[in-house]
Structure 1
Amino acid sequence: MDRELLYGILKGRSGAEISASGNPAIMSDTLKNNPMDEMKVFGWSHQERTTGAQLFPTITPSIEEKNGITVEYMEHGKIHISGTAEKTVDFTTPTFELLTGTYTLSMGINIDNTLMRCTLSTTEGLPYFDILNNEASKTETTEDNTILYLLLRVYGGKTIDITIQPMLNTGTSPLPWEPYTGGQPSPSPKYPQEIVNAGANGEICIEVRGKNLFDNSTDISKMQYYKLPIQMKKGAKLTMSFIGVGTGSGAVKAYCHDSELNYCNTLFYFDVKSGVNKYSSTITCSGREKNIFFYKTEFTKLFEKIYDIQIEINDVATDYTPYRESQSLSISTPTGLPAIPVDSDGNYTDANGQQWIADYVDLKRGKYVQNICDLPLKDINLEWCTWGVNYIVSNGTGFYAYLTKYAHVGNTKTLATICQHNADAWGGRKIGCNAEVNGNYITISLHTSDLDDASDNKKAIESFKKIVEQTDTHVLYVRAEPIERDLTPEEIQAYQNLVTYAGTTIVENDAECYMEVSAGGGDALRAKKLALLLGE
């Protein structure tokens, strides 16, 4: 057989299949320009749960501007402070009452007292929890019930750009931030906590790229920030390496910042020596890393030339590969990709070992597969089957109504469900709405003290209906048979256009969805056979 013809035949074969899972899914030893063989994207569902530890009340989202400083009260409790103060300026939040006790106030970041003051103050101007000495928290004991507000003071002439996240909790140690839920655990009827599904915004974007995250068309000696193409995950190892040429010696640092350019407390450190040397440094990510800040003076002072710069998700520096232009694919998710955690028989297992039954997209088959039904209770007929008995139960602090309703929802599997609000509460029951599925019926139960008249069965039932409607209660359950629909021709074609890179191919999506991917890869035996046949 002609050597060139034989080479052409063997070259066209994909070699051993390379598989990977997770997000990102990293395939090693891939060949250049091989088509993707398989790609599945699985969904998830999440419901915020709180312990009730947060005692600092929610501030209505708004923006306030004074004397060159802008304070933005953001959703989820963050406060962004930016600008240059024309003179010392104060911003105050609404007041709230704090009962006698010992508490800790934290801000999520260290407070630079040369720029600003951050304290809780009384209406008489007495400061409590005054965070000083570039610290992030302060513990105080109040001897009386006290009316307080948060004071944010930026000093005249100072430029500031920070984001804080106030957390006030009992005890002497700062606790992780959580939203304010009235000092009580949630989900609950007053704080129902929405169920959030993967792809809820209607689209999931997938990116295929090489291992090097640094675009080498960028001149490191002339830049300040480099924006990573991905947001790093907490605990991930990120390694930066390069070859540096110079006659000086000393320390060079590259600082990691988040998407809002706040320092992440992680940095790359290089001990520079005279000559031509390869340098590398590895960090363990905090989960916020998005930008890398280079001090120009350090790099330009100690290096005459820097080349073969590589940033990779790895705990060691590997052989340099050029930056590859990424490929992308967008999948329409009009119903999102919800999922329910299960003990067995899930269609995937996440990194924590939890099994899930999830909606998913199978790009190889060109199918959008729906295993989960997201049922808004207000959308079904409230004239369901017979109401269960109305029980009035005392737990020592008040009376709670326990109501049950049965609804026909079609053929289902008998599996656990996720309900819009179902926090653990008294007597092992749930405060809020919880649900169970059995055959063609779903049982919705309400445990609440928030009824107009719990002593009157008819009024209690009407109150239950009102709560269901006003809180937009949803129940997720597993369908007995999945529903499949075809992906669009454009989505299928975009998938078929994806190819692998030589060496390493990384597949990642922007919705934190677990993925299973595979493609043809390198095969050492195939290469040896090819060399033998060609007499090389």
Structure 2
Amino acid sequence: MIFLKRRAFMTFKFNYETSKGIKQVILTNCGQAPFKRFSILGNSHQDSTTGKQLFDVSALKNISGFSVDEDGFIMQKVYNTTSPKTLKELIPSIEAGKSYYLSVDNPDDFTGFFGFTGSVSAWHKNQTFVPKEDDLNIRPGIVSKVGGNARYRLMITEGQTASPYEPYTGGKPSPSHDYPQQIKNVGKWNEEKQKYEVDVRVTGKNLFDKDSVQLNVEFGDANSDFISMKDGWFVSDFIPVFSGKTYFISGKKTGYGYKLYDIDKHFIKNIQLTHGRLSVEDGINYVRINGEMKDLKNIQVELGTTATSYEPYYKEQTATITMDEPLRGIGKYQDKITKDGIARRIRSVMLNGNEDWKLYGSNGNINNFGYILREAISNNVGQRSSLTFSSYKSGVWATDRLGQDMFARIIRINLPKDVFPDVETLRNWLSQSKTTLQYVLEKEVIVPISQSEQDAIRALTTYHPTTVITVDGGDVDAGIEVEYAVKNKEKI
């Protein structure tokens, strides 16, 4: 009789786990398989201010040598430009003898204000300044980095300490009816398509594609074929990166460093670094790596602050979803893109004064107005709505999040009685104000997406062992929620 000895061996079985994050999630121990569930979640953001900002950046608009974008960044062409306006015109509330602090976003691009007559001739960045009476009427020199083409944002506050940047609102907190704040949502506006877009990227952990490198002609001689001169050197393809994130580059022992580019792949600057951490600053969207060909098999570019075990590069998977309206979210209620379509839970309307507004009472100098939203959620269990022109008041829902309380489908707003004495005044103001209201629907509404977009989402798969999902929703970060296969070993 022959006896067969049973051999123990390993096999793999897929189980599923759920992961959720904002803008980017990293999945580990993945089995290579399609996602069981893939959702992109909406989000809404509304800036608020304390009124601390004293610098009115609009004073530099339409002035030769300067431009100002919608986020308050100043673009300065010449590094030393005499201001066409006085210090008092740039900072309307400034007073002689008081202390003021000047802080800067992108500090490498800005030096300070120069040309004062007092004991301090310059007001440098990240410093306190006490102006004299004569200083208020001086047109100071505005000094950026040498070479010009600077981009920076200023925050000037009373006192001796820095404060986070916020837009100028005349010294008043906002949002308010004097200084409305736009409600921003997930979705990039495509002017050509007249649609909002959300881009999805699925990659492995390693973002460096060694098969995409090119001979680095930038170091060659214009009269050579670029091969004999620098044979053995390479430049990588464009690697997408995100501002505010840190990446770790390992396996690169030699080379000239990295080249950084903006969203349009225009060159910004070089960094002389062979390996290690790369912290991405604002305005940088791509990096290219220079190095020697002998390093190719070892290089890894990954999200994080330390090197981890090497994994090969996997080809990027992408999907772009187009929408007539952006993805919104208020508290725990969110619009959601799935394989089957867009599940809408938030509605946005532009108020025009024709709504059925009523005066619900007064408290001191405050009038409380409201009207019924017929399709809105009705149970009072949390934040329901957001409004561009009115922030929370005492006695209304106690939260720092955007919007106003809603009870029994009534949106309520509190406004000064001396400015809004009656409903008619409110109606007239709303007819011109372009005020946006967002609120949660009682029932979810499904909006279809194209078949090609459904197919693109369904085709996305995980990579083994690490998968990185990134969603680009524009100014506001989208949420990500997925159910995916994980690889478990079982002994048989």
- Per the normalisation by structure 2, the TM-score is 0.76
Note the C-alpha offset of 1:229.
Answer: 1.1
Partner of 2:455, secondary structure, is helix
Task: Give the gaps of 5 or more residues in structure 1.
Answer: 1-9, 247-251, 271-279, 342-355, 394-399, 530-536
User: 1: distance between equivalents of 2:202 and 2:84?
Assistant: 47
Tell me if structure 2 keeps the 8 A contact 1:121–1:128. no
Note the C-alpha offset of 1:427.
Answer: 9.0
Count of matched residue pairs: 441
Note the C-alpha offset of 1:489.
Answer: 1.2
Equivalent in the alignment of 1:130: 122
Equivalent in the alignment of 2:71: 76
CA distance change for structure 1 residues 225 and 77 in 2, over 3 Å: closer, same or farther? farther
CA distance change for structure 1 residues 167 and 337 in 2, over 3 Å: closer, same or farther? same
Equivalent in the alignment of 1:46: 45
Pick which of 481-490 and 172-181 moved more: 481-490
Partner of 2:431, secondary structure, is helix
User: 2: distance between equivalents of 1:170 and 1:129?
Assistant: 19
Note the C-alpha offset of 1:491.
Answer: 1.2
Tell me if structure 2 keeps the 8 A contact 1:189–1:467. no
Q: State yes or no: 1:387 paired with 2:356.
A: no
RMSD over aligned Cα, in angstroms?
Answer: 4.0
User: 2: distance between equivalents of 1:111 and 1:435?
Assistant: 40
CA distance change for structure 1 residues 61 and 327 in 2, over 3 Å: closer, same or farther? farther
Task: Give the gaps of 5 or more residues in structure 2.
Answer: 1-9, 190-195, 217-231
Partner of 1:35, secondary structure, is coil
Equivalent in the alignment of 2:193: none
Partner of 1:46, secondary structure, is strand
Tell me if structure 1 keeps the 8 A contact 2:66–2:74. yes
Aligned to 1:198, which of 174, 183, 186? 186
Note the C-alpha offset of 1:418.
Answer: 1.9
Partner of 1:15, secondary structure, is strand
Note the C-alpha offset of 1:449.
Answer: 6.1
User: 2: distance between equivalents of 1:27 and 1:254?
Assistant: 28
User: 2: distance between equivalents of 1:406 and 1:338?
Assistant: 22
Aligned to 2:449, which of 481, 487, 494? 487
- Per the normalisation by structure 1, the TM-score is 0.70
User: 1: distance between equivalents of 2:468 and 2:162?
Assistant: 38
Equivalent in the alignment of 1:231: 242
Aligned to 2:345, which of 356, 371, 374? 371
Tell me if structure 1 keeps the 8 A contact 2:397–2:405. no
Aligned to 2:150, which of 135, 139, 162? 162
User: 2: distance between equivalents of 1:18 and 1:388?
Assistant: 49
Aligned to 2:251, which of 221, 242, 253? 242
Equivalent in the alignment of 1:309: 299
Which letter maps to 1:165? R
Larger RCO (CA under 8 A, 6+ residues apart): 2
Note the C-alpha offset of 1:187.
Answer: 0.7
User: 2: distance between equivalents of 1:386 and 1:224?
Assistant: 66
Aligned to 1:214, which of 187, 208, 213? 208
- The one-character-per-residue Cα deviations of 1:199-254 (angstroms, maximum 9, x if unpaired) are 26311111111211223223578578975413144xx55221115379xxxxx876
Which letter maps to 1:499? T
User: 2: distance between equivalents of 1:410 and 1:292?
Assistant: 48
Partner of 2:405, secondary structure, is strand
Aligned to 1:423, which of 381, 384, 391? 391
Aligned to 1:99, which of 77, 95, 102? 95
User: 2: distance between equivalents of 1:480 and 1:304?
Assistant: 60
Q: State yes or no: 1:338 paired with 2:328.
A: yes
Tell me if structure 2 keeps the 8 A contact 1:203–1:332. yes
Matched-pair identity in %: 20
CA distance change for structure 1 residues 127 and 334 in 2, over 3 Å: closer, same or farther? farther
CA distance change for structure 1 residues 74 and 190 in 2, over 3 Å: closer, same or farther? same
Which letter maps to 2:57? T
Tell me if structure 2 keeps the 8 A contact 1:258–1:288. yes
